[in-house]
Structure formats: C-alpha cells, structure tokens
C-alpha cells in the first residue's frame, strides 16, 4: 500500500477538491488538519508514509526531519518554490520532489493586501467588534485616494499591488535592495530610497521574499520614520518585520495601525500580544487561500503522484 500524507489541511477540504480515487485502490490518503509543530512530532506522525504533500511552507522539512522518515520517496510541494524544505538533503536521500502550479495566488494575495489596507483605513475590524457589542460609530476613517502607497518589493506581487494602488488613485512609491528607477517605472511605481519611502508613505505594503537580506528589514528604525497616521501591511512573511518593534509601535500609537496576514510563528499562538491590540487587523495567513488556488494545488498533487508512479514525474524541483 502506498501511504500518502496531505499536511496542514486546516479547512479539511483536500479530499473534496480533487479526485484522489484515481490513484488506485493501492493508495491510502491520510489528511492532517493540524500543524505538526516540531521535528519530533512530525517524525513520529510521518514515519510510515511514502509520499508527503506540503501546503505552501506551513511545515518546515529540514534535513533532520528527512533523516527520520525512512519510507519517504516523494514530496509534492505547492507552488514552484518552498524555502523551508531542504531540497539538497531530499535529493541526497533519493527523495523525488515535484511541485504544483500556483493557482490564482498571484491575484489572491494582492487582493487580500488591498482588503487589509481598506480595513485599516476605515477601522473595519474595530467597528465590527463594536457592532457585535451593540455599539455604533466610534472612529473616523481616511480615504486611500490621493494618499501614498509605499511598496517594499516590486516583483510580480509588488507590480500587481502597484496596479491596484493606482486604480484607487494613490501615488505609488517602491523600494527593494536591487530596484532601480528604470525598473520601478516599468513596474508602475516611482523609485524612492528606503528612508524616503517610510517617511512619505501613508501605507507601507510588503511584497518581498524572506531571506537573509530581508529578515528583520523593517525594524524599530524604519517604523520610527513612519507617519503617526500611517499603516503597515504585511502579506509576505512575518520575519521580514521585527515583531517586537512592531508591537511596541502599535501599543504606543506611534503608527496608526497594521494589517497582518503573516507572523513569526504560525499558527499564531492563542495568547500572542498581537491578538490583544485594537489597532491591528489580523488574518490567519489567508493570502493564497482561495477555492481556485486550492483546487489547482490538490488536483496537481494527484497528477504529480500519478506521474511519479508511472515513472514520468512532472514539474520536478532540484537543488541548484
């Protein structure tokens, strides 16, 4: 029997989003609806599986874990990149790694970022909580039209965000470590140095890949440059922002608020201090979580497994 594990299916939809029966009666699919938070927990739960299907980067797969999964032969990752999987270690152990297509996450993530911008500017989460307690109109919002949107990162996501910002009538600035004025213009934004962007933006939205150069990129110094009326939006990766510095800035009202979809630790712990702040809009890493993206992910997982079993694996991932 080929044992298949589908990980981190929080909404319990994996089995309904694709026809897993097409893999044949000699395949058993097990779905995990909770995060396996430690290497020990993951090793114990997954030791008996031949195939592991990862949903984005919800569960890291370091070399230490791979060494404790003796039956593992195939890993399927969702999207063309997974920076928490030790691809070289998998390759060294003879484990095949394939990937799905990205679905509509290109649109989904930027639309969520736009939603967080609007929710912050109009205090929607705060007012929603008040309405449920019988209260009425407690805040005065701001429009985004005519304001300045500062984008950290102007790749595919950042350029799409620039388009959405312009549609709202916003002035769009952009910065990243390698961005030039010419590339900024081509991406629909005006280039600004990092300090200028933080000083002038009414909304700073992050669209960078997490790496050594971007970890902690937004810290106390950058937050101190922001206007007291400005908002920070992060739909990329939590550790790009110094979480402690952000919490301090929010508590002391040194910035107006934040819209966050990503965190240092996910799922966000129940007693985390961010949950107690009234000037932050929180969503549980929903950026890519749409029906269209999920159907692509799960249907492609089935395709990847079937192709691998037939000896002709598709969409292979290899270490550089």
Catalytically active residues are 237, 266, 285
Neighbours of 78 (CB within 10 A): 27
Q: Which residues pair with 3 in a beta bridge?
A: 28
Give how far Cα 88 sits from Cα of 79, 81, 169, 317, Å. 18, 14, 46, 10
DSSP string covering 241-282? B-HHHHHHHHHTTSSSEEEES--SSSSPPTT-GGGG-TTEEE
Structure tokens belonging to residue 37: 């938070």
Among 60, 6, 52, smallest CA distance to 33 is for 6
Among 296, 312, 306, smallest CA distance to 27 is for 306
Cβ neighbors of 252 (< 8 A, separation 6 or more) are none
Give how far Cα 55 sits from Cα of 43, 74, 75, 300, Å. 17, 14, 11, 12
What percent of the residues of the chain are helix, what percent strand, and what percent coil, each to the nearest 5? 35, 15, 45
Residue 319 exposed, middle or buried by CB count within 10 Å (0-12, 13-18, 19+):
exposed
Whether the bond into 26 is cis, omega within 30 of 0: no
Residue 281 exposed, middle or buried by CB count within 10 Å (0-12, 13-18, 19+):
buried
């Amino acid at each position: 029997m080929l044992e298949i594990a589908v990980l981190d299916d929080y909404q319990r939809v994996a089995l309904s989003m694709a026809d897993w029966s097409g893999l044949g009666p000699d395949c058993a699919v097990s779905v995990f609806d909770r995060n396996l938070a430690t290497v020990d927990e993951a090793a114990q739960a997954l030791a008996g599986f031949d195939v592991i299907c990862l949903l984005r980067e919800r569960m890291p797969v370091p070399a230490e874990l791979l060494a404790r999964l003796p039956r593992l032969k195939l890993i399927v990752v969702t999207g063309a990149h997974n920076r928490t999987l030790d691809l070289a270690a998998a390759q060294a152990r003879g484990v095949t790694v394939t990937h799905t297509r990205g679905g509509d996450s290109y649109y989904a993530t930027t639309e969520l970022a736009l939603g967080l911008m609007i929710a912050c500017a109009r205090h929607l989460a705060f007012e929603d909580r008040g309405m449920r307690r019988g209260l009425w109109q407690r805040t005065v919002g701001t429009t985004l039209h005519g304001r300045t949107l500062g984008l950290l990162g102007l790749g595919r996501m950042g350029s799409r965000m620039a388009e959405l910002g312009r549609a709202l009538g916003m002035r769009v600035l952009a910065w990243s470590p390698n961005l030039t004025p010419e590339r900024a213009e081509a991406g629909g934004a005006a280039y600004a140095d990092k300090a200028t962007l933080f000083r002038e933006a009414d909304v700073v939205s992050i669209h960078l890949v997490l790496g050594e150069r971007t970890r902690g990129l937004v810290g106390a110094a950058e937050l101190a440059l922001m206007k007291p009326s400005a908002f920070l939006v992060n739909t990329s990766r939590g550790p790009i922002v110094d979480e402690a510095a952000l919490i301090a800035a929010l508590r002391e009202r040194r910035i107006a608020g934040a819209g966050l979809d990503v965190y240092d630790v996910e799922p966000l712990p129940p007693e985390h201090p961010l949950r107690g702040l009234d000037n932050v809009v929180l969503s549980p890493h929903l950026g890519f979580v749409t029906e269209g993206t999920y159907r692509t992910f799960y249907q492609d997982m089935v395709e990847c497994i079937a192709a691998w079993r037939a000896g002709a694996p598709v969409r292979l991932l290899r270490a550089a």
